[in-house]
């Protein structure tokens, strides 16, 4: 029995890593289904996008409880907005495509989702290169930010205060547009709840991408309803148990192989995403420590910011949904849009949860429309004054 345990643990660990990022929930996959999906991935044209090669000026921001948050600033008005590290180790900076005074345009602050990090904004970072000052940061426990510390509180309210610290450190003055994906947008909701005075003053626009204001108890993750109920009731205990077996689980996640890729494709993407994108998302998931996964799972389960959502009606807001999202389905984004009457609601077809990587052209076009609305309003305000 003991000889078979590591193999079983490896499969559980691989599946858990995908579950935790919101890319799987323990669904039973038959061998034929896995094999067919793997063969299909091999047939898809893969341009081999160089994810993680765009870099900004690094700095550390101290959160209220002493947690160090890793931040990068891309500033076309000062230090080059992005550095592309090539294979030789040398860097080449992209020059701004247009000349703008720093105070003419808002700073864009991007906040990533659960078990991802700032490099998940690869296509958006490239799209707005040289046009806007941009801030990217890793949420606590993710990427290059500090790991979670024992005894420190963890909640969406805490991540909202982390975002506030990032704003204070990197954008002490001037207009800001907040853009968040999944848990990143929930962090923005927490900021709105605790600092409503920012919205309509410092915060002049917002993008809420593939996210939810709460009601996680009704999520089914593509499972039959009965199976989803079992998952909701048992998942907290399972995550806690696996957290206590951290070493074994981490080894299992690294050797998950094709199963991890298949689960990532099914739950992170909606259609024919290139294999490089699937592998990149899986790498981000597997780099997230199991204690971060376990503790944030409870945080997300308890998330409810219904009272804060109407604050986004003060500023131009984009609510963007993915119509094949199995994790935070379309109805959650529709509920957000209903609570923000002036919001621009966009539904991207054939898209899964990580829509920012799967359909970057559609996402970037929607963000450009948002920025046009923001700047149009700023222009009217300037003329009026």
What b/e sequence results for 113-127 when a residue is b if at least 16 CB atoms lie within 10 Å of its CB, and e otherwise? bbbbbbbbbbbbbbb
Residues 6+ apart with CB under 8 A from 367: 124, 127, 128, 179, 207, 318
Confidence of residue 270 (pLDDT cuts 50, 70, 90): very high
How long is the chain?
A: 385
What is the C-alpha separation between 179 and 172, in angstroms, rounded? Answer: 18
Rounded to two decimals, the pTM is: 0.81
The confidence score (pLDDT) of residue 251 equals: 61
The confidence score (pLDDT) of residue 232 equals: 61
What is the C-alpha separation between 105 and 378, in angstroms, rounded? Answer: 9
Q: Which of 169, 81, 191, 183 is nearest to 139 (CA)?
A: 183
Residue with tokens 């590290």: 85
How many beta carbons lie within 10 A of that of residue 199, not counting itself? 22
C-beta contacts of 78-85 below 8 A and 24+ residues apart = 78/102, 81/56, 81/129, 81/130, 81/133, 81/134, 82/54, 82/55, 82/56, 82/125, 82/126, 82/129, 83/54, 83/55, 83/56, 84/53, 84/54, 84/55, 85/53, 85/55
Question: What value, to the nearest 5°, has the Cα angle with vertex 152 and ends 146 and 154?
Answer: 85
Residue with tokens 């704003």: 167
What percent of the chain is modeled with pLDDT above 70? 69
pLDDT in tens, 226-252: 765 766 666 666 666 666 666 656 666
Q: Which of 88, 316, 282, 358 is nearest to 208 (CA)?
A: 316
pLDDT in tens, 330-373: 999 999 999 999 999 999 999 999 999 999 999 999 999 999 99
| H-run or E-run covering 60 | strand 57-62
The confidence score (pLDDT) of residue 255 equals: 54
pLDDT in tens, 39-86: 343 333 355 689 999 999 999 999 999 999 999 999 987 744 344 433
Joined tokens for residue 270: 């909606």
């Amino acid at each position: 029995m003991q000889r078979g345990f590591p193999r079983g643990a490896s499969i559980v660990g691989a599946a858990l890593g995908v579950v935790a990022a919101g890319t799987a929930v323990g669904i039973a996959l038959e061998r034929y289904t896995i094999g067919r999906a793997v063969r299909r991935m091999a047939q898809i044209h893969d341009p081999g996008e160089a994810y993680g090669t765009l870099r900004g000026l690094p700095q550390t921001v101290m959160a209220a409880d002493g947690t160090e948050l890793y931040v990068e600033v891309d500033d076309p008005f000062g230090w080059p907005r992005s550095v592309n590290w090539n294979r030789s180790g040398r860097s080449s900076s992209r020059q701004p495509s247009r000349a703008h005074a720093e105070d003419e345009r808002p700073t864009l602050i991007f906040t990533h989702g659960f078990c991802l990090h700032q490099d998940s904004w690869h296509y958006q970072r490239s799209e707005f290169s040289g046009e806007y000052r941009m801030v990217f940061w890793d949420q606590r426990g993710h990427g290059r930010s500090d790991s979670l510390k024992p005894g420190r509180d963890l909640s969406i309210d805490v991540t909202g205060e982390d975002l506030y610290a990032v704003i204070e450190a990197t954008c002490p003055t001037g207009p800001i547009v907040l853009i968040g994906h999944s848990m990143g947008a929930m962090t923005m909701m927490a900021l709105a709840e605790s600092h409503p005075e920012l919205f309509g003053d410092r915060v002049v626009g917002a993008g809420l991408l593939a996210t939810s204001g709460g009601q996680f108890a009704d999520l089914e993750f593509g499972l039959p309803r009965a199976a989803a109920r079992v998952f909701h009731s048992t998942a907290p205990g399972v995550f806690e148990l696996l957290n206590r077996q951290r070493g074994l689980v981490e080894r299992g996640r690294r050797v998950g192989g094709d199963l991890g890729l298949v689960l990532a494709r099914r739950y992170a993407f909606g259609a024919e995403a290139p294999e490089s994108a699937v592998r990149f998302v899986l790498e981000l998931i597997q780099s997230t420590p199991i204690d971060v996964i376990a503790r944030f799972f409870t945080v997300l389960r308890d998330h409810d910011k219904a009272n804060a959502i109407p604050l986004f009606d003060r500023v131009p807001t984009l609510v963007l949904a993915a119509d094949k999202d199995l994790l935070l389905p379309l109805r959650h984004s529709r509920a957000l849009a209903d609570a923000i009457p002036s919001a621009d609601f966009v539904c991207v077809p054939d898209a899964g949860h990580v829509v920012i990587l799967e359909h970057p052209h559609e996402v970037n076009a929607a963000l450009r429309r948002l920025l046009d609305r923001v700047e149009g309003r700023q222009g009217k305000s300037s003329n009026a004054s």
